[in-house]
Structure 1
Amino acid sequence: MSPPLCNRPDCGRGPIDDQGFCPVCDRLPLPQDDVASPGPGREPDPPARVVAGVGVAHVRPDPWYGLGLVDSDQPPDMPPSPPSPPSPSGPVAEEHRFCPHPSCGLPVGRGQGGEPGRIEGFCTACGNHYDFAQPNGLVIAARYEVERVLGSGAYGAAYLAHDRNLATRVVLKALHKSVAKTARHERDVLVGLRHDSIVRILGYEHEGPHLVLEYVPGEPLSARDGDRLETLLAHGVRVLQALDYLHARGLLHCDVKPLNIIRFREEGPAGALDRVRLIDFGAVRSQTKDTGKVVAYTEPFAPPESDPEHLLPTPGFDLFGLGMTLREICRSRWADRSAPGVDSLHLLLERATDPERPWWRFVSARQFAEQLSGVIRQVVAAPPTRRQVARPSALFGSMAGSLHGGLGSARPLAHWVGAQPDGRGLLRMPAPFSSPDPGDIAAALPAPLSDPDDPAVTGSAGATLAEIRLALRGKDATAAAAHLRAAGLPDWHWLHDWYCGLIALADGRPRRAAVVLGQVRRALPGELIPPLGLGLCAELRGDRALARSHYGMVFDTTPALGAAGFGLARVLLSAGERAKAVAVAEQLAEEFRYEREARVAAVRLHVMVVPESGLAAPAEEDVARARAALSGLDVDDAAAASLRAEIQYAEFLRTRDRLKLSDAIRALRHHAPTEREYVALVDLANQLRPALTWGRRGKHAERVIPVSEQRPAG
C-alpha cells in the first residue's frame, strides 16, 4: 500500500513518511477538516492576522536594549538656526494671500475650479502687484512672524515663524479650511501626547486654522557621511518607542516615512546627542473610532493597496512604513551581506515589509524592536566597537548543555585501552572529538518560552508542548511528532517550525532540520539560538564553511552560548587552524559556566592529532603551552593522566621518545575499572617501550633484546 500524499494546496505531491512529515515541503499535512477544496478559481484563505495583546508590554520588558549598545558620540552638526537669508521651499499658502496694498487687502491668488491660484500677478480690484513666492513679512494671528515656508502639500503649508510672545521659533502648520476637521483631530491627538520622540504641540490658532508646534532644527532622517549602521538602526528603535506609545493609546500614525522623522542635535547635561522625532500627524487615526479605508498615506512607504491593512488598519500599517524607511536609509550600508549583522538586517526588513504575507509581518512595535535590538547587538560585536553582550532571550530558555562533542573532556580511557600501535609507535585510536549526536542536540537546544505577541498560540497547547520536550529528551521522534500534530500550532508560525526542526534532529535528519530552522531564522533574525541550530545542522552535514559562518556569528556576538564556541573550535581545527581554535577555547574559558570544559579543550587543542585531516603535527611550542596549562586545571586524577598521555603522544610525534610515551600510558592503568582494561593498558605500554641494547667492550657486536623478552617494569 502506497503512503498517503501531502494534502497541502501549495505542495500536494510529497508522500508522507513514517514521522508524519512531507519530505517535499517539510511540514505536517493539514487535518482532514481543513482540506476542503477552495473551489475553482478561488485561492485558499490566508491565515488570520495576529494582533498583539495588551500583555505584550509586560512579557517584553525591555525590547529597546539596542539603544544602550550604540554610542551617541557622533551627533549631527545641525545649525542652531536656519541660514540667512533663508531659502524658501514653497510659496505662501493660498489662504494667506491678500493684496499687499494698505487700502485694499482683498484675497488674491486663490484657486478656482480645482485649479491652483497664481503665485504672482496683479490684484483684480486695485491692480497692485503681488508675489507670494516668499512670506515677505506675513504675520499670523498678530503674533507669529513667518520667516520662511518649510513645506507645503495637499493639506496645507508649514511655516517657520517667530513667536512674539514666547520669543522663540515655532512651526505653524496651516491647513485648508476644507480639512479643518482633520486639523482639530490632529490637535486633539497631539495635546495628549508626551514622548521624547514625538513632536510637541504648543498651541492652536483658529485663524487658518493653525497648529503651533515646537520647532525641531534638524533634517529628515537619512544616512550622513560617517554614520555607522548601528547609529541608523538605533534611530529605528527610537521611532518604534514612539509608535509603541501611540499604539498603546489606540492611535495609528499612518504616514511613517523619512520625511516625517526629523533628525536633530539635542544638547544635554552629558553633551550633544543624536536624536529623532516623529512629526506630521495629519493622517493620524483611532483604531476604535475611525472606520473606513486609510485615505492619507504615502504609497512607497505603505502596504500594497490590496493589503488588508488598508481596510482595517492595525499597528502593522505603521510598522510596514518604518520597515520601508529603514530600507531607504540603510541602503548604502547593507550591500555586503557577509558583514556582521547585515544578513540579519536583510531578513528583518524582509519580514517587516513582506508584501504578500501580512500575517508574517511584525504585529507590535515591541516585537519589531526586540528583533531590531538583536540585529544591533550583532552589528556592534564587530570592529571597531567589539561590544559583546550576554542577554537572556525573551523567546527561548537556556541551553541544557555545552554540546562540546568531546573537546571539553579528556580522552575516554576506552580510547587508550583499544589503541593499536604500528611498528613506528603511531597509535590508531578513535577520533579525538566528534560532532554532537543529533538526538543530543534536539534535547539540548532550548524550548521556546512562548509567543508574547499571541499567547493563545501556546496557551491551550502548553501541556502538549511539554510532552514534545519530554519525548525529545528521550530521543523519541515518533512520539514528539504525534504530540506536535495534537498541539494544533499554526504551520506558518515560527514555533511550529522550531519543533519540526528539533523532531527532525531527533530522527537523525539534519538536512530537513536545517530547512525548517531556516524559517525560524528568517522570522527571528535578532535571536541567536536559531543560527546556532543551523550551525549544528551544517556541521552534521559536513558543510564546515557554513557551520563556521553560523558559529562565528553567534560566538562573536556573545561567548555566553558555549555550544557555538565549542562548535567553532571543532570546525577550525578540522580546517587545520589550530591557533584560532585554541584562541576560541581560551576566550570561552572566560565564561564562568564553561570555564573548566573550555580550559580542558584549550589544552587538548594545543596537542590534538586528527589523522587524515591535513592538520600539522603539534609544534614544540604547542606542547609546552599545553603542559603549562595542564598544571592549573581542576580535574580529577584520571582526567589529568589522560591529558598527560595525550600531551606526551604529541611530544612523541616530534621526538620519537617511546620510553616517555610508554610511561605516560602505563600511568593510566591505575584508573582502569576492570582487570581486562588494566592488562590492556600495560600491554600497550610494553609494546611502545624501546628495544633494550647491551654489549661487551671491544669488537663484539651489541645484542638487541626484543620487547617480547623484556620484563615489564612495575
Structure 2
Amino acid sequence: MRSSRSSAAASSGRNRLGAGLVSIPEVPRPDPRTAVLATPEVPERKRFCSRGDCGAPVGRARGGRPGRTEGFCTKCGHPYSFVPKLSPGDIVHGQYEVVGCLAHGGLGWIYLAIDRAVSDRWVVLKGLLDTGDEEALSVAVSERRFLAEIEHSNIVRIYNFVEHLDRRTGSLDGYIVMEYVGGKSLKDIANSRRAPDGRRDPLPVEQACAYGIEALEALGHLHSRNLLYCDFKVDNAIQQQDQLKLIDMGAVRRMDDDESPIYGTVGYQAPEVSELGPSVASDLYTVARTLAVLTFDFQGYTNVFADSLPDPGNIEVFQRYESFYRLLVRATDPDPNRRFGSAQEMADQLTGVLREVVALQTGRPRPAMSTLFGPEPRVVDTLLFAEQGQDPSALGARRARRGKAAADPPPPQGVLPLPLPAIAPLDARATALALPVPLVDPDDANAGFLAGLLTSAPTELHAALRAAPADSLELRLRRIRAQLELGHTREAGVALDGLEAGYPDDWRIVWYRGLHALATGDNETAALSFDAVYDAFPGEPAPKLALGVCAEVLGQLDNAAEYYRLVWTTDPNHVSAAFGLARVLLYAGDRAGAVAALESVPESSIHYTAARVAAVRARLRQRTAHEPLLGDLTASAQQVERLGQLGIDAVRYERLCTEVLGSALDWVLSGSNGAPPGGARPSLLGSSLDERGLRFGLERSYRVLARLAQRGEERIELVERANRFRPRTWV
C-alpha cells in the first residue's frame, strides 16, 4: 500500500537526538589522539581478497607461520596489502600531517591527520584498499566528484580528494579527506551494554528509534540529490555528543548508476539488490534492519533471518510495542514497492511510533499533528451516556404515591428492582463517520474546491459535489463520504468498487472501504481494512482508533480496550478513545477504570463537560444493591456541583441532579448497603441523605425543570413527577 503523498527529506539544522521526545545520553568528543591505534594491524580472520568476484581468504597463517600482510591471492593472483601506506609525520598533499591509523575499513586504512592549512583542524584520510585495485580507485574518484558537495548535519563532510606518492612502492595513492567525527559508533554503543550474564543488553527501543529518525533525515537528504547510501549499518553511524553522523560514504552511488560496483553488508542489504540494484526502498530496508539489530538479541540475522524477522511471539520488544514491529515489517517487506515511499514518510511513522513508546513508558501523552489525517469530526456519545428517558429512580417512582411510601415494605436485600437502562450498542454508521478523515491531497485538482465544503450539511454537500469543476480522486472520495453520511451505502459501495479497480495502491480507498464496511455491519471486513492501514502507517493513531471500534462491535473487549488505551495514552486529541475505553471497561465490569478514563479528559478539551457528565452516569448506572454506592454517590454529587460552577446549562444540571438523587433514593430504599453503621451521612446536592431529604431534592429539581420546559405537555409531566416524589407533609 503506497501513500498518495511523499516527499524527500530536506536538510535539517536540528542536531538534537530524539525529536525532543526522549533524552539520549551524550557521547563526549574525545581527544582525537586517543583514537589512534598503537599497533595498526588487520586480524587474519578479516583478510580477504579485494577483487569483487573473488573474496577468497588471504594472508592466513600456515604451518605455524603467521600470515603475510602483503602478497598475492592464491586463488586469483590479485595483489593484496594490509600494511599502512602512511606513517606518523608524513605530509600528504603538502598540508595534511599524518598522526596515525584509526581503523581499517572496507576500502582501506583510515588515518587521523592535522590540516595545517586550515587552522590545524582534525581530518581523516581514507585510503584505498591496495594500490592495484582499480575498482576501489573508481569508487574513490566517484566520491571526489559528488560527495564534496554534500552538506548535512548528519553526514560526514568531505573536504578534498588528494594523491600521495608512496616512496616505498613508487605508486601514486589516492586519499579522501573527511571531517573527523569523534564519538562512538552505534556498534560500539550497542556492544558496551552488557547484562549481568555477559550477554549484550539491547538498546532501549526509544533510543534506537531516535537514531533511526536521524539516519532517515540523512538518507532523505542524499535521496533528494539523487544519491543512495547503500550500506547503512551499526558500523557506519557515530554518535558525537547529541548528534548522529553517517561516517562511511564509500558505498554511495547515483540513482542512475548501473555500472559501478555495489557495496553492502549481509544481514542489512535488501534481498532484491543483487538483481535489481539499490534503490530508495533498499536504503530504507537497511535502516529497519539496523533498528532490529539494536533493539533485541537478533541471533541469525546474517543467515537464518537474513531476509526476514523472527516470530514476534518470541521477541519481547515486538510484543510490547506492536507499532514498532509493524514498522519494521513494512520497511523490510520482500516487495520493495510495498515499503515506505520515502525516507520522510518512514521518519514520520517512526516518529509516531516513538511518541507512542514514550507515552506508554511515561504515562504522559505525546500528541502531534498528523500529515495524513485530520482531527475527529465529532465525538459520538452512545446511549450509554445519554440522557435517560424515564425517572432516574424506578423504585422511588413506584413508591412515590403520596401517603404510601412509608407503608410499603422494603425490597429484598441485595436486589434493585428495575435497574437503570442497559448499555446500548454502538451506532456503527455514526461511529464510522466520526473517525478521523484523511487529509485532502493539496495537489489534487479539486483541493481548493473541497476546502470550501467542509462545513456543509450532507444534503447540501452532495448537491455541491455535482458542480465540481473537474473529476478527481479526492472528489470521488468526498462523494463517497457524503453518500455514507446520507445513508446511501449501496451507492457508496459501488463507487468504492470502481475506485479500487482504478487506484489499487491508494491507502485512502482501503480506509473508506473500512468505513463503508463498518457502516453496513460488515465488521470483519472493516477490521481487515483498518488493519491494513495500520500496517502501512504504524505511527498513526487513527487506524488504531478504528480497530478499537471494530473490536468493540465484534465483542473483543480486551482488544478494544488495548487499542483505545493506546490511542488515548498517546494523543488526548482523540477523545473518542476515552469514551470508547470507558464503554468497554464498563461492559467488562471495570466501573472504576471507566470513570478514570472519562475523568482523564483534560479541562482544556471542548469535550470536558461531556466526559464529566458521562463519568457521573458511569458511576451510577447498572448498579446492583450489593455494590457499596455511597462513595460513587458522593463523588457524583461533587462532580455535578463542579459542573454547575463551570456554567453547565440549567436543564442539564437539574437532570443530572435528578439522576444522582434518584440513584441515592433507590440506594436508601434498598437498605443503604455500604453505609457506615450509625455514622453521619453527607448531604447530596443540598439534600440530606435519607428518604425524606432525597424526595424533597427530587421534587425541587423537577419543579425547576418544569419552569424551564419549552412545551406544555413536557411541563405537565415534570410537575406530575415532582408531585409523585414529594413526601407526605402536614401542609
Distance of 2:599 and 2:569 partners within structure 1: 14
- Counterparts of 1:674 and 1:490 in 2: how far apart (Å)? 54
TM-score by length of 1: 0.74
Taking the aligned partners of 1:388 and 1:66, their CA distance within structure 2 comes to 19
Q: Which residue of 2 aligns with 1:26?
A: none
Structure 2 partner of 1:441? 431
Shift of 1:81: 3.2
Match of 1:523 in 2: 536
Q: Corresponding residue for 1:379?
A: 357
Q: C-alpha displacement at 1:70, in angstroms?
A: 2.7
Does structure 1 conserve the Cα–Cα contact (< 8 Å) formed by 2:109 and 2:127?
Answer: yes
Deviations 1:498-548 (A, max 9, x none): 111100111023232112111111111100011111111222222221111
Tell me the residue number matched to 1:183. Answer: 140
Q: Report the alpha carbon displacement of residue 382 of structure 1 after superposing the two structures with TM.
A: 3.0
Gap change, CA 1:405 and 1:465, over 3 Å in 2: same
Distance 1:338 1:643, change over 3 A: farther
2:160 matches 1:203: yes
Could you give the per-residue CA deviations for residues 291-314 of structure 1, whole angstroms, max 9, x where no partner exists? 258622223212114x6x852543
- Judged with a 3 Å threshold, the aligned counterparts in structure 2 of structure 1 residues 108 and 418 are, in CA distance, closer, same or farther, namely closer
Q: Which residue of 1 aligns with 2:181?
A: 216
Q: Does residue 546 of structure 2 align to residue 546 of structure 1?
A: no
Q: Which moved more, 1:185-194 or 1:650-659?
A: 650-659
Native 8 Å contact 1:255 1:298 kept in 2 = yes
Distance 2:520 2:545 in 1: 19
What do residues 82-104 of structure 1 show as CA deviations (whole Å, max 9, x unaligned)? 54873556449999xxxxxxxxx
1:466 to 478, 482, 488: 478
In the alignment, is residue 335 of structure 1 matched against residue 312 of structure 2?
A: no
Partner of 1:325: 290
Contact preservation (8 Å) 1:91, 1:135: no
Which string of whole-angstrom CA distances, capped at 9 and with x for unpartnered residues, describes residues 173-218 of structure 1? 1124413221111122211011010011122112311101122122
SS at structure 2 position matched to 1:157: strand
Comparing 548-557 with 275-284, greater Cα deviation is found at 275-284
CA shift for structure 1 position 149: 4.5
1:50–1:541 CA distance, 2 compared to 1 (3 A)? closer
Give the CA deviation at 1:372: 0.6
Which position in structure 1 is the counterpart of 2:372?
395
Q: Is the 8 A contact 1:241 1:365 kept in 2?
A: yes
What is the SS of the residue equivalent to 1:319?
helix
**Is the contact made by 1:252 and 1:314 (CA closer than 8 Å) also made in structure 2?**
yes
* 1:644 Cα offset (Å): 0.4
User: Could you tell me which residue of structure 2 aligns to residue 353 of structure 1?
Assistant: 332
Distance 1:119 1:367, change over 3 A: closer
In the TM superposition, what whole-angstrom CA distance separates every residue of 1:547-573 from its partner, at most 9, and x where no partner exists? 111111111112111111111222233
* Structure-2 change in CA distance of 1:297 and 1:310 (3 Å): farther
Note if contact 1:401-1:444 (Cα within 8 Å) is conserved in structure 2: yes
- Any conservation in 2 of the 1:78–1:218 contact (CA below 8 Å)? yes
Residue 174 in structure 1 maps to residue 127 in structure 2: yes
Instruction: Check conservation: 2:534, 2:543, Cα contact below 8 A.
Output: yes
Render the CA deviation track for 1:129-149: whole Å, top value 9, x for unaligned.
xxx489764736364325125
Asked if the contact 1:302–1:320 (Cα under 8 Å) also holds between the matched residues in 2, the reply is: yes
Does 2:418 correspond to 1:428? yes
List per-residue Cα deviations over 1:624-652 (Å, max 9, x = no partner).
43343243242323212210011112322
- Counting only pairs closer than 5 Å after superposition, residues 412-427 of structure 1 correspond to structure 2 as 412-413=388-389, 426=416
TM-score (norm 2): 0.73
SS at the partner of 2:482? helix
Q: 1:577 aligns with which of 586, 590, 600?
A: 590
Match of 1:157 in 2: 109
Counterpart CA distance in 1 for 2:97 and 2:262 is 31
**Corresponding residue SS for 1:381:** helix
| Cα distance change, pair 597–66 in 1 and its aligned pair in 2 (3 A) | farther
- Residue type at the aligned position of 1:396: F
Look up the equivalent residue of 2:344 and give its one-letter code.
Answer: R
Which deviates more, 231-240 or 143-152? Answer: 143-152
Q: Which 10-residue stretch deviates more, 667-676 or 314-323?
A: 667-676
Counterpart residue type for residue 448 of structure 1:
P
RMSD, aligned α-carbons: 4.1
Report the CA distance shift for 1:400/1:491 in structure 2 as closer, same or farther (over 3 A). same
CA distance in 2, matches of 1:628, 1:51: 50
Query: How far 1:440 moved relative to its partner?
Result: 0.2
* Cα distance in 2, alignment partners of residues 612 and 63 from structure 1: 58
**Residue 73 of structure 1: CA displacement?**
5.6
Amino acid at match of 1:388: P
1:320·1:353 contact (CA, 8 Å) conserved in 2? yes
* Partner SS state of residue 256, structure 1: coil
Rate the CA distance shift 1:624–1:680 in 2: closer, same or farther, 3 A. closer
CA contact (8 A) 1:538 1:544 kept: yes
Paired residues for 1:514-663 under 5 Å: 514-605=527-618, 607-611=619-623, 617-619=629-631, 621-656=634-669, 657-663=690-696
The 8 Å contact of residues 381 and 387 in structure 1, kept in 2 or not, is answered as: yes
The equivalent residue for 2:679 is: none
State, as a whole percentage, how many aligned pairs show the same letter. Answer: 31
Contact 1:66 1:376 in 2 (8 A): no
Say if 1:589 and 1:598, in contact at 8 Å, map to a contact too: no
Could you give the per-residue CA deviations for residues 9-32 of structure 1, whole angstroms, max 9, x where no partner exists? Answer: xxxxxxxxxxxxxxxxxxxxxxxx
8 Å Cα contact 1:64-1:370 kept in structure 2: no
Instruction: Give 5+ residue unaligned stretches, structure 1.
Output: 1-46, 96-106, 121-131, 266-273, 695-712
The amino acid that maps onto 1:196 is: S
Report the alpha carbon displacement of residue 575 of structure 1 after superposing the two structures with TM: 3.5
Question: Contact 1:416–1:429 (CA<8 Å) still a contact in 2?
Answer: no
8 Å CA contact 2:84–2:109 kept in 1: the answer is no
**From 69, 93, 101, the counterpart of 2:20:** 69
Contact 1:408–1:599 (Cα < 8 Å) also in 2: no
